[in-house]
Structure 1
Amino acid sequence: MGSFSIWHWLIVLVIVLLVFGTKKLRNIGEDLGGAVKGFKQGMKDGSDTAEADRAQLSKQTIDAQVREKDKA
């Protein structure tokens, strides 16, 4: 009862193909693939920018002076 057999999935696939048609399903697949590509590219660009920021920060010198806290 809990899991579907291969026959259940095939019947669902046939019904989906009849309702939506192959052209519409192909367009949905292309749109989804484009979105995934765009997401991956965005993640890659974001990590490249973060690495460049870290490299630039590591080159900077911070000058500071330590003072003793006054005891009142």
Structure 2
Amino acid sequence: MFPGWMQIALVALLVLLLFGRGKISGLMGDVAKGITSFKKGLKEGLDEPEQEETKTVADRRTIDGEIVKTKEETKS
């Protein structure tokens, strides 16, 4: 069952009476800013190519449970 147009109008009127026009318009402005910021973030994320960071290992360490050998260790 979908609400009829009278029920939607009644709910809208109650919300308007409870919160007031100023509060609702401020809330809608905040929602619009959030959507704009979200879209901008998505666009910036798609524009930047993915870059893998290369790390040099100065001493013997473990990465994901595996021992990584340095250049000095492989020479001997």
User: TM tier, shorter chain?
Assistant: 0.5 to 0.7
Aligned AA for 1:35?
A: G
User: Normalising to structure 1: TM-score of the pair?
Assistant: 0.66
Residue matched to 2:2:
3
Secondary structure of the corresponding residue to residue 3 of structure 1: coil
Secondary structure of the corresponding residue to residue 7 of structure 2: helix
Contiguous gaps of at least 5 residues in structure 1:
55-72
Name the one with the larger strand percent.
Answer: 2
Q: What pairs up with 1:1-72 in 2 under 5 angstroms?
A: 2-50=1-49, 53=50
Aligned AA for 1:27?
A: G
Give the Å deviation of 1:3: 1.7
Structure 1 vs Structure 2 CA RMSD: 1.3
Structure 1 consecutive aligned stretches of length 4 or more whose deviation exceeds 4 Å: none
Q: State percent identity of aligned pairs.
A: 27
User: Normalising to structure 2: TM-score of the pair?
Assistant: 0.63
Q: Can you list the C-alpha shifts for 1:7-32, whole angstroms capped at 9, x where unaligned? A: 00000000000000010000000000
Aligned residues: 51
